[in-house]
Amino acid sequence: MSKTKLIISKNGFIKIEGDFEIVDAEGMPYNVQGRTSLGLCRCGLSANKPFCDGSHRNGFEHDAKAFDLPPMKAK
């Protein structure tokens, strides 16, 4: 399986591709039925959170542009 990749879409979801596992706050895995690609909600409007259901089409806007994070702080 390929390396996991997250793609931040313009005005939409986060697409996750590759070999991944998604777990809830208690560490219990979601059964993604063998999918190797799916969309995660980032607008907060999905009725199927954490997964995208297309609700962002009603006005969520974010122009996703890559940038460099500052260096990590020393521990």
Question: What is the reported pTM?
Answer: 0.84
List all residues 6 or more positions away from 49 whose beta carbon is below 8 Å from its beta carbon: 41
Please report, for the chain, the start and end positions of each structural domain, with discontinuous segments joined by +: 1-59
| Tens-place pLDDT, residues 6-53 | 999 999 999 999 999 999 999 999 999 999 999 999 999 999 999 999
Interatomic CA distance for residues 23 and 28, integer angstroms: 5
Report residue 2's pLDDT band, with 50, 70 and 90 as the boundaries: low
Is 13:40 a contact under the CB 8 Å cutoff?
yes
pLDDT (0 to 100) of residue 75: 83
Is 38:25 a contact under the CB 8 Å cutoff?
no
